[in-house]
Amino acid sequence: MGRRSVKDLIEGLGVPHTEVDLVLVNGQSVDFSYRLSPGDRVSIYPVFEALDIAGVTAVRPQPLRLLRFLADVHLGRLAGYLRLAGFDTFYDNSWDDEQIAETAVREHRVLLTRDRGLLMRSVVTHGYLVRSHRPREQLREVLDRFDLWGSVRPLSRCSVCNVVVEAVEREKVVEKVAPRTAAHCEEFWLCPSCGRIYWQGAHYRSLMALLSSHSSSAETEGRPREPGPP
């Protein structure tokens, strides 16, 4: 009978291996394939985002510090919020689990999902199991987990295309927005992919209210933008 691997032990406890960043057996760092022996003392540590342990851990070749995301098919609203907060987030609700897992790996994206089974696929190296059902809570969770409150750039990315929006001269877009918006806003941004116009407004204020509920959200100023009319 073969001995159990560390990965099997961890996932047998219901913990996706993507939640684990460091495994020590008898005080030594090991990778997921390590086969356990009777009497081994195993210490399992969660993902360190605020502390770089690259020189210590053996569970994966390189820690993921380039934070880009891929949201699974059930997390469309979270994907939209992440984009509005400025984070590169892939989302396509037509993808199956295999496409999601493979794309996350190929693109070096953190896989966001509420499906433990998806994170337990061995190909997946970086993921996060989203706990909340509510999109705004989910955004808070992700910003907390990856220590991203200081990296928020509100409304700098198109919430539909995930493309970075570009500043555009007021004269070029002003007749395309509601007269009230045109009267109150000086700055506008344009999605080069879908043509949506963004400006500071109600959506921006709503996002800011959410972000300001966190104590270290003081750095969320920046280029305020508002999603344009649908």
- Closest approach of Cβ 190 to Zn ion, in Å? 9
Position 110 contacts Zn ion (CB under 5 A)? no
Using rule CB under 5 A, residue 160 touches Zn ion: yes
Stretch that binds Zn ion, among 28-36, 71-79, 84-92, 159-167 (CB under 5 A): 159-167
| Residue 193 near Zn ion by CB under 5 A | yes
**Site for Zn ion (CB under 5 A): which residue of 30, 119, 155, 158?**
158
- The span from the CA of 54 to the CA of 37, in Å, is 26
**Out of 191, 207, 208, 211, which residue is the one contacting Zn ion (CB under 5 A)?**
191
Q: Is 166 in the site for Zn ion (CB under 5 A)?
A: no
Does 194 engage in binding with Zn ion (CB under 5 A)? yes
Contact (CB, 8 A) for 223 and 207: no
Alpha-carbon Rg of the chain, whole angstroms?
21
Q: Which is nearer to Zn ion, 100 or 191 (CB)?
A: 191
Residues of this chain that bind Zn ion (CB under 5 A): 158, 160-161, 191, 193-194, 196
